[in-house]
Amino acid sequence: MATLELKNIVKRYKGQAVLDDVTLKVADGETVVLFGPSGAGKTVLLRLIAGVVDPDEGAILIGGEDVTDVDAEYRGVGMAFQNFALFPHMSAFDNIATPLEARRQAPGAIKAGVESVAKLLKIDHVLSHKPRALSNGQKQRTALGRALAGSPPVLLLDDPLRNVDAKLRFEMRLELPRLLDTQGATVVYVTQDYKEAMALGDRIAVMSQGRIRQLGTPEQIYLEPATIEIARLFGDPTINLLDVKPAKDGRGVYVGLSNVQVHLAGPFEQAVGRDCVIGLRPEALSFVRADAPAAVPVTVEAETPLNEKTVTLVRTVRGREILVSRPAGTPGPVSGNAHIAVNPKSALLFDRATGDRIGANKVVALKSGEAA
């Protein structure tokens, strides 16, 4: 087991910074997910930690030791990358066994080690196959198995479920955290799937354009996104975002929805009179009776099931579209006129010009991704 520390990492290609002052501390045994759009710099960061790419500036420490200039094979880092990198002439079994053989383990221990990871990854039936006879998903799981079998102190996983079909992906999302926990490894895991990020990460580092934009637990990122961009990346259906100009009366700060004054609970004083965007998660809205306090009149446009939820598209009096979700099977309006209420504690306000969340706590909105 080992801690991992990245200090002010800069990486440039052709003079262009693809990693721009990235600082991150991963605790011993912790899983940090790097999440963000394509081109954000996630893979380059992983390759830097692995030692296959050198940074232009900054330092990498593993277990407190500076390994910036240490060769990849001496860093104690195991990795599974998107492009599989399996040995083509070797069976899946032999591929997974390579780290165990390198450590000259007894044949019995190698067999037991390979079979236990293979069983978990559901590739135990194809262990005798060469990579060319494996599906992409099986190849990817073989590469993952090889990384896991070596029980390295630091494990780097680059989107290991990308080619895995939806059903297996769902199962693995549930099983992988347990497996990573039992391994005790310090894990950096790259994904573009927010559900995977939330299921697997002790913390999530949200990256874009070479920087860590927010670092926090899945709950912090979901409930207190630092920017509009991050709020949009998490959640299905996505968050409702509406232009508002908050005002204030004796009861506090409010916004107008369908000409109803909806009071918000939050540190929103500085938003008064400013051009803002209100962020309302579909599950923070509910259907209520017309005489409920601050009931917002809407017209129901359409309703659709989504996994375990029912999602309703409604339109405000001024024609703005809003998605409301509720647990599947619970009653709700099907068509016509209805009223919705906003959970005042769940409303998020963003500055429209900068996209930054108003009242954002510095712990979750650190510019360089320094652990708080």
Which residues contact ligand ATP by CB under 6 A?
Answer: 13, 18, 36, 38-44, 192
Would you say 321 and 282 are in contact if contact means Cβ atoms under 8 Å apart? no
What is the closest distance, in whole angstroms, from the C-beta atom of residue 123 to ligand ATP in the complex? 24
Would you say 344 and 265 are in contact if contact means Cβ atoms under 8 Å apart? yes
What is the closest distance, in whole angstroms, from the C-beta atom of residue 162 to ligand ATP in the complex? 9
Nearer to ligand ATP by Cβ, of 186 and 191: the residue is 191
Nearer to ligand ATP by Cβ, of 38 and 307: the residue is 38
Nearer to ligand ATP by Cβ, of 94 and 159: the residue is 159
Q: Give the end-to-end CA distance of the chain in Å, rounded to a whole number.
A: 21
- Tokens 């504690």 belong to which residue? 345
What is the closest distance, in whole angstroms, from the C-beta atom of residue 191 to ligand ATP in the complex? 8
What is the closest distance, in whole angstroms, from the C-beta atom of residue 192 to ligand ATP in the complex? 5
DSSP helix/strand/coil, 143:
helix
In angstroms, rounded to a whole number, what is the distance separating the alpha carbons of residues 176 and 121?
A: 9
Reported as half-sphere exposure (CB side, CA atoms, 13 A), residue 197 has a value of 26
Nearer to ligand ATP by Cβ, of 160 and 246: the residue is 160
Q: Look up residue 349 and give its two tokens.
A: 């306000």
Nearer to ligand ATP by Cβ, of 44 and 134: the residue is 44
CA nearest neighbour of 363 among 219, 228, 238, 264:
219
What is the closest distance, in whole angstroms, from the C-beta atom of residue 85 to ligand ATP in the complex? 15
In angstroms, rounded to a whole number, what is the distance separating the alpha carbons of residues 326 and 287?
A: 9
In angstroms, rounded to a whole number, what is the distance separating the alpha carbons of residues 144 and 130?
A: 16
Nearer to ligand ATP by Cβ, of 68 and 192: the residue is 192
In angstroms, rounded to a whole number, what is the distance separating the alpha carbons of residues 359 and 224?
A: 10
What is the closest distance, in whole angstroms, from the C-beta atom of residue 57 to ligand ATP in the complex? 16
